[in-house]
Chain A
Amino acid sequence: MNLDSLIPNLGEWLRGTGPESDVVVSTRVRLARNVADYPFAGRASPAQKAEIVARARDAVGRADLPHALEYLDVPAMPALDRQFLVERQLISRELAAVLDGPRGVAFDASESASVMVNEEDHLRLQVLRSGFALDEAWADIDKLDDALEARLPYAFHAQFGYLTACPTNVGTGMRASVMLHLPALGLTKQIDKVFRALQKINLAVRGLHGEGSRAFGDLYQISNQITLGKSEPKILNEIKEVIQTILQYERQARTVLMKERKQAEQDRVARALGTLGSATMITAEETMELLSVVRLGIHLRLIDDVPATAVNQLFIQTQAAHLQKLVGHALDGEERNAARAKYLKTRLRELGSHRQ
C-alpha cells in the first residue's frame, strides 16, 4: 500500500458525523489479545515474534470480514510513514518508534478497523467510529475478534479471562474510549469538576494522544480503567451513562454562552478564522486551539459556511507527518510552522471561494 493514497482522505471516524457529533468526535474500542503458547511480545525472541506476525497475517488474510485488512510491516517503513500512521490513530507511538523486532499493523481502507501485531500484546484490535457509537463499535470488534480467534487460539484463563501482558488489561482486554470536544465546559471553568467526578467512578480522562498527553483543543478522551469482573456490555453502559451526563453539561454551558455573550463568541470565532487564514507561521498547538473555536462556532451556528468535516480535515492534515507528506520532504520545526500556515491559508481560501 502506498500511504500517500491516504493523505487526501479522512478516516471514516473523522467524518464529523454520527450520533451526538456536536460534542462527540469519535468512539474507539480496542481489545488486547495474546496467542496461546508463546511468551508475550516483550519476552518473545525475534524468531517467535516473526512467527506471531506470520500467523496473524494469515488469520487476518483469511478472516471472513466485510472489509479486507491490509498488512503493513512497520520496521520496513520510513520514520515519517510511521509517524503518519500514529497521527491517523492506526498505530501507537510505541509500535512506531519505541519497540523493535518484527511487528506491524493491518487496517482496512476506511481506517475503521485495525490490528497491531507485537505491540505490548501480540494483537491489539481496534475499531474507530465517528460520533457516539459504543454499541456499534463493540459489535464490529466482537466480530473481528471472533474471526481472528477462529485461526489463532488465544491465551485464556478460566478465572482471569483473556490474559494480557499488563495486569491493567486482563479479563476483557477491552478499553473503550470516547473522544469529546468540550470547549464550553472549558470556557466556563467547569471542566475540572467534571473530571474529578469521573476519576471517582474509575473512568480515565486523557488528552488526544492517550496516556500522559495534554488536552489540546478542548479534546478529551474518556475511557474505562477496569477490565476485570464486568462484562463488556456492562462496561460500555457505564461509560454511556457518564457521557450522557457530560453531554448535557456541555450543551447547557453552550446555551449559557449563547445567551450571555453571543457577540463575544461571534467575535472569537471570526478572529480564530482570521488568524488561521492569514498567519504566516503557526504551531500545531495554536492550530488546534483555533480549530477548536471554529468547531464550536459551527455547532453554535455562528458560522454556517465551514463544514465540520473540513475542520477535522484541517486538524489532521496540519499535524507534523501529514504536512511533510503533503509537501513531499522533511521539514524542521520552523519550516513546519510556515508550511502549516501556508496550507491553512490555501485551504481556507478554497473553502471561502465555495462560499461566494
Chain B
Amino acid sequence: MKCMFCKNPATVHQTVIVNQQKREAHLCQKCARERGLIPDPPGPQIDLQAVLSLMAAPQLAPAGDAACPACGMTYAAFKAGGRFGCAHDYEAFRPSLEALFEKVHRATAHRGKLPAELRSAARAAALEDFRDRLRAAVRAEDYEEAARLRDLIRRTEAEGNPG
C-alpha cells in the first residue's frame, strides 16, 4: 500500500471512527511525522527534566522496592505470593495497585457498602445537599422539584433509622 500523500510505501495506518463512520489513513513515515501523527525521533540531547524528576522523586522508583512500613512486606514479595501482609500495604503500594486493580477489576475505586460510621456521614452530607436544593426550589417556586426533594429527604432520613 502506498502513502496517500507522496506514494512512498505506507507504514503508518490510522483508523478513526466518528459517529460510526470509519475513516482510514495510510501514510509513510515522513508524511505521518509532518502531520503530527507520530512523534519526532528522539534527539541526541539528554532529557534533563526526566533525569531530575527521577532523582528528586524516589517514590516514582519501581514499586518493587516499596516496603510496607507496618508489616515489612515488599511489593516484590506481594507480587510473588499474591497476598497482602496487612491493611497498610494498600497505602504503601498504592501507585502500583491502581494499575493492578484496573486489570483485575477494571476499576480503581470502591462503590459499594460503607462501614456504619461512614454511611451516616455520607447520609448527613446528602441530606444537607437535598435541603439546600429544596430551599432553592422553593425560592424559585419550582414546587414539583420541591415535592420530589421532600420525598427524597424523607426516604433518606428513613434509611438512617430502620425499624
Contact = CB atoms under 8 A, between A and B. Distances in A.
Contacts of A162: 110, 113
Contacts of B111: 171, 229-231, 234
A120 interface: yes
B56 to A, nearest CB: 26
- Chain B, interface size: which category? 20 to 34
A171 B86 contact: no
Contacts, number: 107
Chain A CB within 10 Å — which of B91, B100, B108, B112 has the most? B112
Contacts of A234: 111
A228 B109 contact: yes
A216 interface: no
Contact of B110 (A34, A160, A165): A160
A154 B108 contact: no
B83 interface: yes
A226 interface: yes
A127 B112 CA distance: 18
Nearest to A171: B110
Contacts of B110: 157, 159-162, 170-172, 228-229
A232 B113 contact: yes
Interface of B: 70-71, 73, 82-87, 90-91, 97, 100-101, 104-116, 118
26 contacts: A34-B87, A37-B87, A39-B86, A40-B84, A40-B87, A43-B73, A43-B86, A150-B116, A155-B87, A157-B91, A160-B90, A160-B109, A160-B110, A163-B87, A164-B84, A166-B83, A167-B104, A170-B90, A171-B107, A172-B110, A226-B105, A228-B101, A228-B107, A228-B110, A229-B111, A231-B111
